[in-house]
Structure 1
Amino acid sequence: MNMFLDILEYILPFALILFSFILGLLFEKRGLKLLKKFAKKTGWESYGIIIARALRGIVLLWFVIAGVFVATLSFPINTSVREFIQKAILATFLASVTFVVSKLAVSFVELYSNRGNEGSPLSSLFEIFTRLVIFSLGLLIIIQSLGIAITPLLTALGIGGVSIGLALQNTLSNLFSGLNILTSQKVRVGDYIKLGSGEEGYVTDIAWRQTIIKEFNENLIIIPNSYLISSNFKNYALPEKELLITVELGVSYNSDLEQVEMVTIEIAKEVMQEVEGGIPNFEPFLRFHQFDYFSINLTVYLRVNEFIDHLIVKHEFIKRLRKRYQLEGIELPFPIKATYIPDKKF
């Protein structure tokens, strides 16, 4: 009988761990599916998916941790060893909670950023910064829970931080410039910008050291954050992505300007309605503004969804307008200049 109890005393802890492992598997397969179904029924499907992804694999770990903890209470081991194991269990549990909170925070911020009016994606710098803050707090909580005083550690980190800051001035300058870019919202991922030095393209990412711009021909431009924030640039996506564009042209002095205006506006409306990238409900307009050497010049104003759409809209407008001008007999004059040659006596 005593032998059976002794065997049971050693087998029971392993049985508890195995039982908790099986229970964790069942809960992860069934429980997370039920969570998704409940979230879908209540209209919170996106949140349910995010929570389920964050908990996948972690729930099983928590059940195993619980099983190991209970097993240590019944397993015949030394008290100091038991305390060490329990502290390791606590540290593992807190680390897993920190990991889950980090994933949830980044996912929720990404969800809300994509739900905004502009649908601006989350930059890698903001994601790294969010994870860094959460993991730092989690690490401090773990150290404190293990009975280690964190005050001397923070003091040492503060002194060491000064030395590190002096050694990494350029890196820190780019880091804080990147944070400034993110918080000011003057440049966002997905915006089309043009620098004063001529580089232009879509912002694909704002990282901790540089901002990455993708040109229309698929080339990447890497710009240090400190350079970007101190330079002049034009953001074609602010204050909104819709953009007013202009087309400059000139007609002959023999043209009927009333007819020119009517025909040009008609073609402009047609382009706005039919060409992808145009704003269908926008009323295009034109203004005559100059008597030039060989033509009366005018500017046509159109509106597009975003900067890159001006290419196809201008392309179609010029083609259709020239064809219609030819049908209406409206002349687009060649550039000419009168030349004065004084009389010379030979």
Structure 2
Amino acid sequence: MVSRKKVLLVAPDGKTTFKWRNTMIKWDVPVINSPVINSLAIALSTILLAYLVRFIMDQLLKRIAKKIKVHLYDHLLEVVRRPIFATILLYGLYLSCYPLHISSDPLTIVQKVINTLIIAFWVFAGMEFGTFFVDWAYERKGQTLIQLRTKPLFIMILKIVVFVVGSYLALLTWGKNATALLTSASVVGLVLGFAAKDSLANLFSGVSIMADAPYKIGDYIVLGSGERGHVTNIGLRSTRIMTRDDVEIIIPNSVIGNEKIINQSGGPSEMYRIRVSTSVAYGSNAEQVREVLLKVGLDEELALNDPKPEVFLVSLGDSGLIFDLCCWVKHPAQKNRLEDRLNTEMYNRLNEAGIEIPYPKRDVYLYKQN
């Protein structure tokens, strides 16, 4: 602060004069030099900063997420809000220890403990977000990788990955040699892999089947060995199908993953085409036979009219003309029933029309030798 005051000046000859002079007024302000108070001030400032960042994330970032209109981003902000708040708060508490002039060894331990707690906060946040991400990906349309039965598997894999990364960082924080532990874990994993190679083969085949989705629960499939039925369960170790005889067949995934599978429910719909063959004698009217067989397909209730039944003369056999009647059914499980009804009706209609159904004949000639 500047003040003006009048000063008396005396010259060498004894004359006196007055002059105004500007002077500065100094204020003696006491300076607080208490370590405890300084530490509390740093801690309080850190707490205020943490709440300020939390308020900014709650207000600003949520508005941005609402504009994007993606629920995944909202949950991401909700998950990272807690570890960010904890990171700022814990580091502030660590910085508040410096004014207290703590020795280096205890301060180092405090730093490692705080770093470990921060890593734990982020690990739990990563696990929570990984679980939500799998649920979000499962609900997306068009994806076939994540199914209802594979959700726990993907969640478990993500949690294991996050936990392993967090544990590795925690070991580095405490100055431990993580390489030796990873080597030991690799050896143990190798031993367990050889001991359970069949189970692991089924496990990986099950994951591959679920990811590739060659069939799904409810599909009607035919195995390479000839068994056919609908899929009742796709597990991590085996696949189960139920035959028309109500017999459940359990096939290890490592076996079913390496053989040919016919999915009769595949394609744009579950409709299945059935081909029934019959033979008529040579000399029969081919157009008359075609009309009789086509009438059989059109009159059958189980056969669909769209697509319509069709009749084809497929070959000239050894004993007669070979015709195929092709009809469609709603589901492959109706195959045997429709074949039985078509064969029965074809036999009756051909007999009524006077069309001969040939059968193999052999002429035996006996020669008398002298």
Residue of structure 1 in register with 2:325 after alignment: 300
Query: Does residue 157 in structure 1 map to residue 181 in structure 2?
Result: no
Gaps of 5+ in 1: 40-47, 339-346
Alignment of 1:1-346 (within 5 A): 31=62, 35=66, 38-39=68-69, 48=70, 51=72, 56=75, 59-75=77-93, 79=107, 80-81=109-110, 83-101=112-130, 103-104=132-133, 107-108=136-137, 110=138, 115=142, 122=147, 124=149, 130-131=154-155, 134-146=158-170, 147=172, 148-178=176-206, 181=209, 187-190=214-217, 191-197=219-225, 199-215=227-243, 221-229=249-257, 233-236=261-264, 243-249=272-278, 256-265=285-294, 268=297, 278=304, 280=306, 284-287=310-313, 298-303=323-328, 307-308=332-333, 310=335, 330=353
Cα distance change on mapping 1:279 and 1:69 into 2, 3 Å: farther
Shift of 1:214: 4.6
Code of the aligned partner of 1:259:
Q
Q: Secondary structure at the match of 2:273?
A: strand
Code of the aligned partner of 1:158:
S
Distance 2:332 2:51 in 1: 60
Distance 2:342 2:52 in 1: 72
Cα distance change on mapping 1:19 and 1:305 into 2, 3 Å: farther
Cα distance change on mapping 1:181 and 1:318 into 2, 3 Å: same
Shift of 1:306: 5.8
Distance 1:67 1:218 in 2: 59
| Structure 1 contact 143–150 (Cα < 8 Å) conserved | no
Code of the aligned partner of 1:172:
L
TM-score after normalising by structure 2: 0.57
Structure showing the higher helix proportion among its residues = 1
Code of the aligned partner of 1:138:
V
Cα distance change on mapping 1:32 and 1:255 into 2, 3 Å: farther
Shift of 1:68: 2.6
Structure showing the higher strand proportion among its residues = 2
Say which structure, 1 or 2, has more relative contact order (CA 8 Å, 6+ apart).
1
How many equivalent residue pairs?
Answer: 310
Code of the aligned partner of 1:87:
T
Cα distance change on mapping 1:246 and 1:281 into 2, 3 Å: closer
Which has the larger displacement, 237-246 or 223-232?
237-246
Shift of 1:195: 2.7
Q: Which has the larger radius of gyration?
A: 2
Shift of 1:31: 4.1
Distance 1:281 1:120 in 2: 33
Q: Secondary structure at the match of 1:247?
A: strand
TM-score after normalising by structure 1: 0.60
Shift of 1:90: 2.4
Shift of 1:290: 7.2
1:17-75 Cα offsets, whole Å, 9 max, x none, are: 88888988x67xx949964x744xxxxxxxx35x26xx64x644432333333333444
